[in-house]
């Protein structure tokens, strides 16, 4: 191979001349829509999930704007009810659940293993198409008049309302299969394509997180699919399963729904924790602290996550015995999450910390996830939960975990792997301003909602008592700042595609395998067989001024 000098791991190519890579290997829309390359499928997921994020964000801003005044502001109550339903459903099912595994996982997982692709490339493309078909069904429900049930589709409301529930839930049903197939693919890939020298405890922690996530995806998602089918059957055929008027049991629906949707919270947060476990050591230039505890805590969260679903139902009239057991089990999830946070902090201790944009988002993640996690304690405890349940306190709590947690990690991960994905460096200044606006806007938006909730403001309210107006307005103004911050971050990323400095192979000095190939990688990922070492050992990497990146010593 004549170009071996240019593709040796850690060797950067000076100048703008680009070699063959997965982006320029073939051209045209069709080459993308029929691609089997995991990197291209990752980019397809990235574009589609970020489009869903934008759509869900528009719904969120409309909801917040409506809440500027205690009565009607810009829309009527039925439109408002559809807006918050679409916001929730789009954000959860079309954005957060598929985003990190689909976009970052697809792109990074095989390269981190030193593999050429995932185990089943065709299945991988199929899961993206299922995502698109499911998303189209869900979006079709908007054209068919919208859905007004809330993203939880609680019966018997969802079986009696005259909105497009069947279209939306059928979309969710299909999206579930997309999620399952991604899980199957990742588990097989980690088992079968892991190089011999990489044992389980030499895997980057993101892989532990994605693996644990995949287990939940495979085991929990079928329950959601069945539940959605039963709901559709009840609505369309009048079979009594959940509706008491037909002899059904509405609480049964809640059990079924949360049996999936609580583990789904961990589908959303576990990959995020994996991303943070990659970013923190690299930007601290220090080995991750407590590797095994972090790895095991991912598995523990995946297991405990299955046993706590009924904590969404403490006021539903469940037996006191069940209520007690689910409260106790709920607290078990707090421990592995706390362990991770302490380990990240200990990684930073004694480090050589550089606050580049990915690290800013990671540090921001610890801040907001800290609040999100700690406020979970109020909700696991029974008497305080009874007061706070179904108020804005819950809304604030899960936005701190899902938006502040998962989305902060996704954006941090995006800035971190962006040079690898597209071969361009992002302008730090604008990206950092984008972070700070997002961070401040986020906290103003959602912290005020904790206070609203503990003072008794119920969620999903179109009208509200005048005493809550001040905090609602504060929250709405915060959401505008957040939107500007996220918009600025998007501009910084897009700007780099056209005007960004070409990225070196290893701009951050990371030791996992994806940074030993070129940026962007060739179609087959590596030009020579990579050798996996400790993914958190940075001793062999030295800063090279000429390429503005890190290269292997010697």
Partner 1 sequence: MTRLLALLASANPPTTTSGDFWMPVRGSANAAAVDWLFYFIYYISLFFFALIVGLMAYFIFRYRQRSPDELGEGPSHNTPLEITWTVIPLILVIAIFWIGFTGYMKGAISPDGAYEIQVVGAKWKWMFGYPNGYIDENLHVPVDTPVRLVITSDDVIHSLFIPAFRLKKDAVPGRYTKMWFRATQPGEYQIFCAEYCGTSHSDMLAMTIVHPPGEFEKWLENAANFLDKMSPAEAGEKLFKQRGCTQCHSIDGTRIIGPTLKGAFGHEVALTTGQKVLFDEDYTRSSILNPQAQIVAGFDPVMPTYQGRLKDREISAIIEYIKTLK
- Give the one residue of 6, 116, 202, 287 binding partner 1; rule: CB under 8 A: 287
Handedness of CA 315, 317, 320, 321 (dihedral sign): negative
Residue 477 contacts partner 1 per CB under 8 A: no
Given the complex with partner 1, which of 28 and 162 has the nearer CB atom? 162
Q: Is 16 left (phi over 0), alpha (psi -120 to 50) or beta?
A: alpha
Rounded Cα–Cα distance for residues 233 and 404 (Å): 36
Kindly state the smallest distance separating residue 543's Cβ from partner 1, in Å.
Answer: 4
**Which residues in the 383-422 window bind partner 1 by CB under 8 A?**
383-387, 389-391
Contacts of 552 (CB under 8 A, 6+ apart): 9, 10, 516, 540, 541, 542
* Cα–Cα nearest to 296, from 380, 203, 402: 203
| Identified binder of partner 1 from the candidate list 108, 264, 363, 532, rule CB under 8 A | 363
Can you tell me the distance from the alpha carbon of 417 to that of 510, in angstroms, rounded to the nearest whole number?
A: 11
Closest CA to 301 of 333, 264, 272, 276: 333
Residue 75 Cβ vs partner 1, minimum distance, rounded to whole Å: 13
In the complex with partner 1, the residue whose CB is nearer, 207 or 333, is 333
Q: Is residue 367 near partner 1 by the rule CB under 8 A?
A: yes
Min dist CB 360 to partner 1, Å, is: 10
Of residues 178 through 217, those in contact with partner 1 by CB under 8 A are: none
Question: Positive or negative CA dihedral for 150, 155, 157, 162?
Answer: positive
Of 322 and 494, nearer to partner 1 (C-beta) is 322
Per CB under 8 A, contacts with partner 1 among 153-172 are 154, 156-157, 160-162
Cβ atoms of 81 and 63 within 8 Å: the answer is no
Q: Rounded distance, CA 41 to CA 44, Å?
A: 5
**Rg of the chain, C-alpha, whole Å:** 23
How many angstroms separate the most distant Cα atoms in the chain? 76
* Contact status: 20 vs partner 1 (CB under 8 A): no
Total residues interacting with partner 1, rule: CB under 8 A: 92
- Whole-number minimum distance, CB 107 to partner 1, in Å? 26
* Interface positions, 524-553, toward partner 1 (CB under 8 A): 536, 538-539, 542-543, 550
3 or 463, CB closer to partner 1?
Answer: 463
Residues 296-335 that bind partner 1 (CB under 8 A): 315-317, 320, 323-324, 327-328, 331, 334-335
Query: Within 267-286, which residues bind partner 1 (CB under 8 A)?
Result: 284-286
Q: In the complex with partner 1, which residue's Cβ is closer, 218 or 334?
A: 334
Contact region with partner 1 (CB under 8 A), list: 34-42, 99-107, 225-233, 243-251? 243-251
- Which two structure tokens, joined as six digits, stand for 310? 């009924």
The whole-angstrom separation of Cα 257 and Cα 84 is 19
Cβ neighbours around 481 below 10 Å, total? 19
Work out how close the CB of 224 gets to partner 1 at its nearest, in angstroms, rounded to a whole number: 20
- Which span sits near partner 1 by CB under 8 A: 41-49, 123-131, 345-353, 402-410? 345-353
Which position among 251, 252, 299, 484 is part of the footprint of partner 1 (CB under 8 A)?
251
Contacts 24+ apart (CB under 8 A), 72-79: 72/462, 72/463, 77/462, 77/463, 78/148, 79/146
Query: Which residues, 6+ apart, have CB-to-CB distance to 259 below 8 Å?
Result: 220, 223, 306, 309
The two structure tokens encoding residue 302: 């995946």
User: Which residues from 129-148 bind partner 1, rule CB under 8 A?
Assistant: 148
Q: Which stretch binds partner 1 (CB under 8 A): 3-11, 113-121, 170-178, 452-460?
A: 452-460
Residue 281 CB, nearest approach to partner 1 (Å): 8
Least spacing, CB of residue 404 vs partner 1, in Å? 13
**219 scored as a contact of partner 1 (CB under 8 A):** no
245 lies in the binding site for partner 1 (CB under 8 A): yes
Nearer to partner 1, 448 or 489 (CB): 448
Q: Which of 127, 182, 375, 475 binds partner 1 (CB under 8 A)?
A: 375
Distance CA 436, CA 475 (A): 17
Q: For the CB of residue 54, give the shortest distance to partner 1 in the complex, in Å.
A: 25
Using alpha carbons, list the distances in angstroms from residue 79 to 62, 85, 118, 140, 313: 10, 10, 43, 16, 27
Residue written as token pair 């992002």: 426
Structure token pair of residue 382: 């029974």
Closest CB to partner 1 among residues 285, 495: 285
Q: Does 438 bind partner 1 (CB under 8 A)?
A: no
What span, in angstroms and rounded, lies between the C-alpha atoms of 205 and 139?
A: 35
Beta bridge pairs of residue 552: 541
Binding partner 1 (rule: CB under 8 A), the pick from 181, 288, 302, 547 is 288
Q: Which is nearer to partner 1, 453 or 521 (CB)?
A: 453
Kindly tell me which of 132 and 341 has the beta carbon lying closer to partner 1: 341
Q: Which helix (H) or strand (E) holds 99?
A: none
Q: Running DSSP on this structure, what letter comes out for residue 424? A: B
* Nearer of residues 460 and 495 to partner 1, judged by Cβ: 460
Pick 273 or 493: Cβ nearer partner 1: 273
> Binders of partner 1 among 74-93, rule CB under 8 A?
77-78, 81
Nearer Cβ to partner 1, position 76 or 192?
76
Q: Tell me how far apart the alpha carbons of residues 391 and 385 are, in angstroms, rounded to a whole number.
A: 10
Q: Are 405 and 265 in contact (CB under 8 A)?
A: no
Tokens of 541: 């990497």
Among 116, 120, 123, 249, binds partner 1 (CB under 8 A): 249
3-state secondary structure at position 215: helix
């Amino acid at each position: 191979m004549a170009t071996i000098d240019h593709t040796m791991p850690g060797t950067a190519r000076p100048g703008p001349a680009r070699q063959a890579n997965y982006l320029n290997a073939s051209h045209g829309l069709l080459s993308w829509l029929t691609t089997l390359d995991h990197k291209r499928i990752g980019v397809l997921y990235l574009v589609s999930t970020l489009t869903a994020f934008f759509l869900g964000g528009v719904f969120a801003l409309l909801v917040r704007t409506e809440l500027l005044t205690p009565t009607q502001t810009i829309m009527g109550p039925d439109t408002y009810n559809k807006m918050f339903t679409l916001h929730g459903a789009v954000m959860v099912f079309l954005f957060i659940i598929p985003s990190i595994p689909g976009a970052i996982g697809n792109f990074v997982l095989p390269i981190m293993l030193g593999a050429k692709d995932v185990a089943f490339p065709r299945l991988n493309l199929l899961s993206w198409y299922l995502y698109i078909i499911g998303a189209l069904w869900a979006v079709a429900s908007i054209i068919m008049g919208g859905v007004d049930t809330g993203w939880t589709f609680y019966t018997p409301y969802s079986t009696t309302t005259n909105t497009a529930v069947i279209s939306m839930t059928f979309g969710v049903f299909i999206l579930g299969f997309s999620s399952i197939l991604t899980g199957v693919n990742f588990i097989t890939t980690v088992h079968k394509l892991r190089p011999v020298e990489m044992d389980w405890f030499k895997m980057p922690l993101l892989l532990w997180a994605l693996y644990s996530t995949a287990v939940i995806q495979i085991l929990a998602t079928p329950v959601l699919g069945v539940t959605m089918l039963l709901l559709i059957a009840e609505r369309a055929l009048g079979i009594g399963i959940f509706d008491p008027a037909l002899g059904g049991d509405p609480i049964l629906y809640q059990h079924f729904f949360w049996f999936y949707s609580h583990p789904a919270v961990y589908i959303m947060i576990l990959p995020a924790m994996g991303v943070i476990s990659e970013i923190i050591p690299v930007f601290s230039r220090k080995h991750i602290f407590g590797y095994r505890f972090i790895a095991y805590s991912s598995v523990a969260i995946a297991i405990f996550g299955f046993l706590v679903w009924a904590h969404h139902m403490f006021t539903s009239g469940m037996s006191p015995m069940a209520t007690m057991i689910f409260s106790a089990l709920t607290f078990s999830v707090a421990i592995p999450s706390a362990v991770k946070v302490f380990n990240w902090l200990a990684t930073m201790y004694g480090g050589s910390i550089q606050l580049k944009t990915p690290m800013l988002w990671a540090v921001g993640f610890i801040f907001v996830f800290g609040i999100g996690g700690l406020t979970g304690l109020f909700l696991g405890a029974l008497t305080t939960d009874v007061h706070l349940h179904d108020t804005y306190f819950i809304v604030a709590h899960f936005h701190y975990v899902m938006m502040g947690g998962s989305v902060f990690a996704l954006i941090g991960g995006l800035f971190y792997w962006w040079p690898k994905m597209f071969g361009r460096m992002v302008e730090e200044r604008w990206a950092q301003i984008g972070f700070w606006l997002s961070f401040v806007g986020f906290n103003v938006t959602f912290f005020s909602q904790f206070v609203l909730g503990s003072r008794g403001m119920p969620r999903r309210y179109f009208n509200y008592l005048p005493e809550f107006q001040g905090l609602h307005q504060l929250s709405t103004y915060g959401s505008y700042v957040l939107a500007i911050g996220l918009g600025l971050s998007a501009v910084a990323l897009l700007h780099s595609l056209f005007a960004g400095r070409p990225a070196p192979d290893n701009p951050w000095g990371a030791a996992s395998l994806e940074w030993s190939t070129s940026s962007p990688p060739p179609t087959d990922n590596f030009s020579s067989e990579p050798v996996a070492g400790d993914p958190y050992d940075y001793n062999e990497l030295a800063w090279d001024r000429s390429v503005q990146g890190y290269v292997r010593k010697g």
